[in-house]
Structure 1
Amino acid sequence: MAVDRVRLTGALAKIVADPSWTGEFPKRLCGACSAALPVDGVGLSLIVHDRPDSRVLLGASDQRGARIEELQFGLGEGPCVSAFTAGRPVLVPDLRAHDAAVRWPMFTREAVRSGIGAVFAFPLQIGAIGIGVLDCHRSRAGPLAEVAEALAVTDAVTMALLNAQTPGWDGADTDVDLFDLSWRNHAVVHQATGALSADLGISIAEALVRLRAHAFRYSRLVDAVADDVLAGRLQLAR
């Protein structure tokens, strides 16, 4: 299937420019990307180069897409993380394959349990500027033949997101802070990380690692663990 770059870019620009997008903008953007590709769904994450633990979920087109992003955020590993670090697409046609299990043991185990068969991660970047990753997924295993089309969609959504963060790009006086918007998806984690860091006298990075380790050990979402920490129901030892 061919992707009309001009038409897609225009459609994404309209979504960004819609004044009623608050709260719905990320999901609508992901829905448009998913509809343009032969995949079951997509997820979008934002990352800052000089802040390796700053990865945050912007949105997803469906529950499985959100689950993929949640797993990678909670475990700190997965195709999305690798794609952003390497600055190139990471295509995983079969999450049950040995090489995938060796590379991301925790992520692949949980993803397969969630009914996900394949993940294709594309970094959102223009030149040296990287802002995040587009994750595409399928319930069935198999290669993605439409890589060129996926790259076209990636370029279009990257431009849409960069434009959304540019003051007055659409003639308005608004300045969309995408990181502030996406931060809300894991606000409790960031709050708990800060509290744990201050309480134990450790770095923010180490505090996040401890939250993730506890969540993995007890098979819980890192958001749930963070909520318990903030509520005083859980204390992580020094």
Structure 2
Amino acid sequence: MSDRIMALAQLARVIASAPAEEPLPVRLCRAYVEVLGADGGAITLSSTTSQRLTLSTSDGVSAQIEDLQDVLGEGPGQDAYRSGQAVVTKVDGLGGRLFPVFSGLASSLTGPLTVWAIPMQPGEATLGVITVYRGTGELSYSLEDAQFLADSVGAALLDDPSAHGATPFAGWSNRARVHQATGMIVAHGGFTPEDALVILRAHAFAESTSLDRIASDVIEQRLGFTPWQTGGTTPTAPWDDGPKDHGP
């Protein structure tokens, strides 16, 4: 039996052994991580666009890695999606890496590790990316076998209604908040949707928090953004409490 067939059979066994009530993306993510012998991982769709959605993360470190890529617009997952090729990078805070900003910040959050970002290509187009990491050592299978499994996971997601919002779960809720917050900034500040998303990402980066947390603050009117004549943006809270002339 070839390595690919063995890996696929192992993936199927792990998925089948998981609780049936769990969403398929959650089971797929956990199974992919387990089969490859990784310490953790995440599945994202549309990894470089404003529609970027993290379907599932297996643990807190994976969630931090995905949040950081979401905020920075930089990282192995983003590059794997754009190029359609697997990307492997060391996260150790040292200079000269592929993604110096991502590597430096991720290292401070997670410590040294290796990240593999594998595009899911069940057809001609790239559907999304599976990102896995290990603190030390290599994966249990080759990069080619990891790609084969990622394509298989992508094919499963194409047939899963929950991956397209028919069965809502946390990932869609998070992305909906980001879209709602972006719309509020557009409506109240006169920005383009692209600029509004950049503002959200920049503020999340400055506050060392996730994009979803900043989006929630905007929606609940704890945070707003008012354009100034200089062309910059200044955070205010709430929306109606921007700069006012209070007189002498």
TM-score, normalization by structure 2: 0.77
Q: Which structure 1 residue ranges, 5 or more long, are not aligned? A: 165-175
Which structure carries more relative contact order (alpha carbon 8 Å, separation 6+)? 1
Amino acid at match of 2:120: L
CA distance in 1, matches of 2:220, 2:226: 16
The residue aligned with 1:147 is 143
CA contact (8 A) 2:11 2:35 kept: no
Matched residue of 2:117: which SS? strand
State which structure, 1 or 2, has the greater radius of gyration over its C-alpha atoms.
2
Instruction: Deviation per CA, 1:94-146: give whole Å up to 9, x if none.
Output: 4434232xx43332222112225111101111342221000011123x66573
The structure 2 residue matched to 1:201, chosen from 190, 210, 213, is: 190
Within the alignment, does 1:111 sit opposite 2:95 as a pair?
A: no
Over 4 Å off, 4+ runs: 11-16, 142-145
Q: Which structure 2 residue ranges, 5 or more long, are not aligned? A: 228-248
Q: Quote the RMSD (CA, aligned, Å).
A: 2.7
Matched residue of 1:207: which SS? helix
| Structure 1 stretch displaced more, 120-129 or 33-42 | 120-129
CA contact (8 A) 2:8 2:149 kept: no
TM-score, normalization by structure 1: 0.80
CA distance in 2, matches of 1:61, 1:201: 38
Residues 82-93 of structure 1: matches in 2 within 5 Å?
A: 82-93=79-90
Q: In structure 2, do the counterparts of structure 1 residues 33 and 9 end up closer, same or farther at CA, with 3 Å as the change threshold?
A: closer
Within the alignment, does 1:126 sit opposite 2:122 as a pair?
A: yes
Q: State the Cα distance separating 1:58 from its structure 2 match.
A: 0.2
Matched residue of 1:99: which SS? coil
Amino acid at match of 1:186: R
Q: State the Cα distance separating 1:91 from its structure 2 match.
A: 0.7
Residues 206-217 of structure 1: matches in 2 within 5 Å?
A: 206-217=195-206
| Alignment: residue pair count | 219
Amino-acid identity (%): 33
CA contact (8 A) 2:53 2:172 kept: yes
The residue aligned with 1:35 is 34
Instruction: Deviation per CA, 1:161-196: give whole Å up to 9, x if none.
Output: 1222xxxxxxxxxxx141424322333222101111
The structure 1 residue matched to 2:157, chosen from 148, 156, 161, is: 161
